[in-house]
Structure formats: C-alpha cells, structure tokens
A and B are shown apart, each in its own frame.
Chain A
Amino acid sequence: MGLLEIHNLHVRVADHEILKGIDLTVDSGQVHSIMGPNGSGKSTLAQVLAGRETFAVTEGEVLYDGRNLLELDPEVRACEGLFMAFQYPVEIPGVTTSYFLKSALNSLRKYRGRPELDAMDFLKLAREKLKLVDMDERLLNRSINEGFSGGEKKRNEIFQLAVLEPRLAILDETDSGLDIDALKIVARGVNQMRSPQRAFLVITHYQRLLNYIVPDFVHVMVDGRLVLSGGKEIALELEEKGYSWLEKEPAGATA
C-alpha cells in the first residue's frame, strides 16, 4: 500500500473537466515530479489533494495511508501529515507568522496526542528551521507573507514545511518566479528534509529545479492526463524538446 494512491481521478470546475483520469502511486521516501505545460492541471491536482473546495471530484478516489483522503477537511489532512507549499502564498496582515505557525504545529501535535509547545520551545525550534532556508528570525514577528518578495514567500513555505515535518509534501510550482540563488536555497531546504518517512510531490513547469531536487520519478501531465512516466532523464528530454511532442502523444506512453 502506497502512502498516496490516486485512482482514475476526474476533477471539474464549473462545467470544465480539468483532470481526466489520473493514476499515481507515491511511497514514503520517494520524490516524484509532475511536469507539464501551463493549463495541464498540475496545480489543480495539488489543490485537490490539499482539499480546496472549489473543485469537484466527479470520479475516482484518492487513498492516503489507505484512508479516503477526499472526505477529510483540509485541516485534518494536515494533521494526518499532508503539506502543500502554495504556488501563490497569500498575505495575511494582522496575523504574525509565529502565532500562526505555532498554532498550526500545536494543532498537529494535539491531534497526535503529543504535548503542545509553548512560546519558548517554539522559538527554539523555529530558529533551527530558519537556518535551512537562510531566513532571519525577524520574519516570525511579521504578518504572514506581508511585504515578502516572491523568493521570500517561497522560502517561507519551505520553512513551514521544515517546522511541520509532513509525511507527504506537495510543492506546487515552488520554483516559479525564483532566481537561481533563491532556487538553490529552496532546493537545499527540501533536500535536507528528504527522509525515508517522507514523500515529495514536486510540481514544476521547468526542468531547472530538478537539477537540484533530483527526483526518483518524473510524470508529465498534458491536458489533465499523465501521458508519460519514467525516471529523471525525462526531465532532460523535456528541457531539450519542450512539451509539444507530447501534446500529440497518446496517453499512457512510457519512456
């Protein structure tokens, strides 16, 4: 039984079908990448896994640890160890990062029957994790993402990942809008979090990130379907040829 099993997933928004039968299995310890052209449905998959209610699942199922993931509220999925790094992290003025992240962490700890951290212990933990993404402690007292540059927002997502220690981390185009230095910091943070108890689903448009976060498996999504699956060499092939050769390829091809 995989950590995450997606069977024949169909998803629509309004009257438009975005995912047209996705099958995917991810086991602990693995790093999977999903690549694809814009509009292919990659982000939709991420958001559906995280629990965004604007999408309707019309067919198929998603099992997480053998449980039906789709019937769980987003906060319960998080408590069960699912994490999503947002493509566009939202700014929330008036709520400090430290209060927010401490609440989130304690929510997860409480769910697992573990004692909650007080402010001091949380600060100690946060300091450790901030080092992973080269961020300053002052960010803790600022409102969530307020006034952050694109790179800072993405690093903040990885910082939160490091604090919450998920079992399945979904990175939704974490590399978009990043310069090479920020990209390296993000990748380093992710690589330091790799472990046999953790799986990553790295969604990306460009191959560049995968030079630094080397995946075990690469899947290509085109028009709501996974049309190609294989090893990391697929990423290099896409870098060379682009996506257009796949957009005409029948579904289910493997390298």
Chain B
Amino acid sequence: MTTTTLDKPVERYLAAFETFERQRRGRDAFLAPIRKAAVARLAGLGFPTTRHEDWRFTNIAPLTRMQFAPANPGTQGVRVRDLTPYLFGDAGILRLVFVNGRFAAELSELHDVPAGLAVGSLAEALEKSPQVLEPHLARYVTYQDSVFAALNTAFLEDGAYVHVPRGRIVERPIHLLFVSTAAEQPTVSHPRNLIVAEEGSQVTLVESYVGLGQTTRGTAAPGCAYFTNPVTELIAGAGAVVDHCKVQRELESAFHFATLRVHTLRSATLASHSIALGGALVRNDVHAVLEGEGCDVDLNGLFVTAGSQHVDNFLRVEHVGVNCNSREFYKGILDGRSHGVFTGRIKVHKGAQKTDAKQTNRNLLLSAEAQVDTKPQLEIFADDVKCTHGATIGQLDADALFYLRVRGINLAAARSLLIYAFAGESMDQVKLLPLRTRLHELVVERLPQGELLRELV
C-alpha cells in the first residue's frame, strides 16, 4: 500500500502513541482500552481533507504538515503576574491553571472550596479516584467519528475535573485557565476536561485558552507554532443549571482544534458561550445532545478575525428528548483576508416531539477580502417540531453610518461604534458580569480605532 503524505502525520502519532503507552503502563485502569480504541480510530479515520463534507471549507494541511513534539512539562517560567491580563473579576473566583495542558497548583487559586465540590486536576483524579471518573470520562464524546477527539482521547493526561454534587449551588465561578507557552519547536498539548453537574446543581464555568508570548522569565518563543487540542465533556444532570463560557486567546501562530461535548438530562438548562479571538487556524466542534425532556440549551458564539486567520465553528445539536428548546446564535466579525466558517447541524430524532430549535448566524465583513461560508443543515425525523434557521453575511449598514455621521460622529468612529454594537449583542448574553466587562474590553482592543470607544466599556 502506498503511503500518501496524509498518512505520515497519522504514522507519527501512532509511533508517538507507542512510546506514550509504555510510559502510562499500569497507570490507566479503565482508560487503557479506551485509549487503544481511540488510537485505532485515529488510524482508521485519518486526518480530513477538504473533500470531507464536514471540512469542506477548512484546509488543515498547515497543521498536518507540521511535526509536533509533546509540550514541555512544568510551568515554563510562568508566574501569577503573567496571568493578570487573562483574569477577570476578583478573588472570589476558583481558579485552576494549566500550563501546556498540565495542572499548575502554584498558579491556581483553590482555597475554601465549597464542601462536596470536586475541582482539580484530572490526572490526580485518575490516579486517586478513577472509579468516580469511569462512568463519565470518554463516555460522551464521539471520538469514533472525530479524529481530533480521538487524538485527545489517546493522548490525554491532564486537564480539569469538576464535579458538582446533587443539589449543590456553587456561587463562586470556576475559571479553568489553559496557558500555552510557545517553545523553540512546535509542540502539542491535549487538555482534557470533565465537568459533571449532578441533579439540581448550579455552576458557572469559564474555560480560557491563552498563548503566552512572553513569560516573566522570558522562556517563550512567540513566533513558533503550537497546537492545542482540548476536549471538554460537560454533563448537566436533571434540573441542573450550567453557565459555561469558552474564551480563546491563542497566539497568532497557534492551531486550536477544540471539541466540546455537551449532554443534558431532563429539564437541565445550559448556556455555552464561545468567544474566539486568536489563533491562526481554529476549529471548534460543539456537539450538544439534549437527551432528557424539557431541556434548554443556548449556544452563543462570537469570533473576531483579521489578517489571515481561519475560524471554523462546527455545531451539532441533537434533540432526543421531547419538549426541548435549543438556540444557536453565532456571530462573526471578519477583517483583512480572514475566513470564517459556520456549520449548524440540527438533528431532531424521531421521538423528539415539540422540539423548538432556532439557529442564527450573522456575519459582518469589514474588508473586501474577508470571507465567510455558512451552512445550515437540518435533519428532522419527528413531525411536531419548530425549526428555524437564518444566516446573514453583510457589511456595516450604510443608513446607520450616515445617521451617525450626520450627527457629527466621524466615519472611523461611526464604523467602530457599529462594529462594537454588533459584537455587543453576543457578549451581553454572557451573564457573569466581570467576564462580560472583560470581553467588551477585549473586543474594543481588537477594533480599528477601538480607543475611541474606551468609555463605552
């Protein structure tokens, strides 16, 4: 059998897995056969090309061409003060910090953890209490059909484990902060997160991915590429209320391929926001399964791109239970030659009567070369459902611009104001106020003439 260039990356990972598996021997309990199955799927699936329907607009050759070494262990000279630009709010927030995918206790803030709440390193939980993880870890994410989820499942080592007990309302938000430090050679990390909110519980989580170009000890090499491949499994039990926000601020040299698998049981309410600002080549795979009846899932996203960035948001929402509501509301703001992709697949299973599913994708193009591809896909097998979808791709409203200018606001300021207003609608859905404020600041920083809008934040 002839090997094509696309097989080489798979071969490299298979070889790396052999070494990795040897290192893990004896440490994996229930996980060992799962890893094996995942790596078999990696080999079986291979990396997708643009001939693959779900990857039609995203060419991952720049990623597969590159060879990545496992990310360096240790905190790589990162100090708490390096993290300040990535924090929000105050001391009340529980913070788990990971450097290159590995838990860094000394950078984390975990005092006065509410009784019963498990929040800490997944690696530690795997070692000390694997029986608690076994019913959930890798039981939801469909790595069988996703090579990046399979890659993560094969190589997972550490990440966040959050388990909220029955009926517990966790007031303090939990911030999972993943920091990557670019090295002298391309490196990869596979953060793995498992979040379980038991029946009747409530929790607010923020998952940030940031690239540090410079640490206090100056050990990073900002121009070097790196690859972050996170998987998050988020389970909301019956009646649970979960508020989740993912903020992606990777460096310009980063590949970020993330999988979020959400599962909701009866009457659970879940809001998951995704704000993507960084990275060279980014893919967000969001897969939500509304299993129980009467669930409510809100998927809200915003990406802001410029230069030659490429961001691909691939959403799959499956309605299994009856009487469930889902809303996908994704917005893109594209400048330069950047490229955005949105796929919104809604599958309503046969018994999922009284489904109410809504999907909206709005894109604002700020330059002639920016481009967006948007694709709704509906598969409806029940007969009593409400399913609406809509997508727009446009430029700034000329009438609105003229209105502002006629009142004395100059063109550049008027443009910034309208772009900010467009983004604001997405950010205002983030309930956690200090985070929302920080997001407003970040977006203002990204806008042309953003300084004119300082006082709006």
- Quick one: which of A86, A89, A93 contacts B425, CB cutoff 8 A? A93
Check if B400 is an interface residue, CB within 8 A of chain A: yes
Check if A75 is an interface residue, CB within 8 A of chain B: yes
Contact A107 B410 (CB under 8 A): yes
Binds A, one of B135-143, B196-204, B275-283, B401-409: B401-409
Q: Which of A80-120 contact B (CB under 8 A)?
A: 83-84, 86, 89-90, 92-95, 99-101, 103-105, 107-108, 111
Q: Give the Cβ gap from A117 to chain B, nearest Cβ, in Å.
A: 12
Chain B residue contacts of A160, Cβ below 8 A:
407
Interface string of B397-438 (1 = CB under 8 A from A): 101101111111111011001101110110000000000000
Secondary structure at chain B's binding surface: helix, strand, loop or mixed? Answer: helix
Check if A50 is an interface residue, CB within 8 A of chain B: yes
Q: Give the Cβ gap from B317 to chain A, nearest Cβ, in Å.
A: 26
Contact A164 B408 (CB under 8 A): yes
Contact A95 B417 (CB under 8 A): yes
Q: Give the Cβ gap from B324 to chain A, nearest Cβ, in Å.
A: 28
Contact A75 B411 (CB under 8 A): yes
Q: Give the Cβ gap from A45 to chain B, nearest Cβ, in Å.
A: 15
Say yes or no: A93-B409 contact (C-beta < 8 A), given A86-B403, A99-B456: no
Check if A79 is an interface residue, CB within 8 A of chain B: yes
- Quick one: which of B403, B413, B414 contacts A89, CB cutoff 8 A? B403
User: What is the bound-complex CA distance between A79 and B410, given in angstroms?
Assistant: 10
Q: Count how many chain A residues have C-beta atoms less than 8 Å from C-beta atoms of the other chain.
A: 31
Contact B418 A78 (CB under 8 A): no
Interface string of B94-116 (1 = CB under 8 A from A): 00000000000000000000000
What residue of chain A has the Cβ atom nearest to residue B404's Cβ?
Answer: A100
Contact B406 A74 (CB under 8 A): yes
Contact B405 A74 (CB under 8 A): yes
Q: Give the Cβ gap from B402 to chain A, nearest Cβ, in Å.
A: 6
Chain A residue contacts of B397, Cβ below 8 A:
90, 92
Chain A residue contacts of B421, Cβ below 8 A:
92-95, 143
What residue of chain B has the Cβ atom nearest to residue A163's Cβ?
Answer: B407
Q: Which of A44-94 contact B (CB under 8 A)?
A: 50-52, 73-75, 77-79, 83-84, 86, 89-90, 92-94
User: What is the bound-complex CA distance between A51 and B408, given in angstroms?
Assistant: 12
Contact B408 A104 (CB under 8 A): yes
User: What is the bound-complex CA distance between A107 and B413, given in angstroms?
Assistant: 11
Chain B residue contacts of A107, Cβ below 8 A:
408-410, 413
Q: Give the Cβ gap from B209 to chain A, nearest Cβ, in Å.
A: 27
Contact A95 B409 (CB under 8 A): no
User: What is the bound-complex CA distance between A84 and B400, given in angstroms?
Assistant: 14
Contact A78 B400 (CB under 8 A): no
Say yes or no: A100-B407 contact (C-beta < 8 A), given A90-B400, A93-B425: yes
Chain B residue contacts of A74, Cβ below 8 A:
402, 405-406
User: What is the bound-complex CA distance between A32 and B75, given in angstroms?
Assistant: 75
Identify which of A77, A94, A107 gathers the most chain B CB atoms within 10 Å of its CB: A94
Chain B residue contacts of A99, Cβ below 8 A:
456
Identify which of A78, A103, A104, A111 gathers the most chain B CB atoms within 10 Å of its CB: A103
- Quick one: which of B400, B408, B420, B425 contacts A75, CB cutoff 8 A? B408
Contact A75 B403 (CB under 8 A): no
User: What is the bound-complex CA distance between A100 and B456, given in angstroms?
Assistant: 10
What residue of chain A has the Cβ atom nearest to residue B420's Cβ?
Answer: A94
Q: Give the Cβ gap from B389 to chain A, nearest Cβ, in Å.
A: 21
Q: Give the Cβ gap from B299 to chain A, nearest Cβ, in Å.
A: 20
Contact A103 B409 (CB under 8 A): yes
User: What is the bound-complex CA distance between A107 and B418, given in angstroms?
Assistant: 17
What residue of chain B has the Cβ atom nearest to residue A74's Cβ?
Answer: B405
Q: Give the Cβ gap from B244 to chain A, nearest Cβ, in Å.
A: 24
Contact B406 A73 (CB under 8 A): no
Q: Give the Cβ gap from B397 to chain A, nearest Cβ, in Å.
A: 7
Contact A73 B407 (CB under 8 A): no
Q: Give the Cβ gap from B426 to chain A, nearest Cβ, in Å.
A: 10
Say yes or no: A51-B456 contact (C-beta < 8 A), given A90-B399, A94-B425, A95-B418: no
Contact A51 B420 (CB under 8 A): no
User: What is the bound-complex CA distance between A235 and B147, given in angstroms?
Assistant: 77
Interface string of B151-183 (1 = CB under 8 A from A): 000000000000000000000000000000000
What residue of chain B has the Cβ atom nearest to residue A92's Cβ?
Answer: B400
Q: Which of B37-89 contact A (CB under 8 A)?
A: none
User: What is the bound-complex CA distance between A21 and B411, given in angstroms?
Assistant: 30
User: What is the bound-complex CA distance between A220 and B400, given in angstroms?
Assistant: 30
Contact B413 A51 (CB under 8 A): no
Chain B residue contacts of A51, Cβ below 8 A:
402, 405-406
Contact B418 A108 (CB under 8 A): no
Contact A52 B402 (CB under 8 A): yes
24 contacts between A and B (CB under 8 A): A51-B405, A73-B405, A73-B411, A78-B405, A83-B406, A84-B406, A86-B406, A89-B403, A90-B397, A90-B403, A92-B400, A92-B403, A92-B418, A92-B421, A93-B421, A93-B425, A94-B421, A94-B424, A95-B417, A100-B417, A104-B407, A105-B408, A107-B408, A107-B413
Query: Told that A74-B405, A90-B399, A104-B404 touch, could you supply 5 new A-B pairs with CB distance under 8 A?
Result: A75-B408, A83-B406, A84-B406, A93-B421, A94-B420
The 9 closest A-B pairs by CB, nearest first: A94-B421, A78-B408, A104-B407, A74-B405, A107-B408, A104-B408, A94-B424, A90-B399, A75-B405
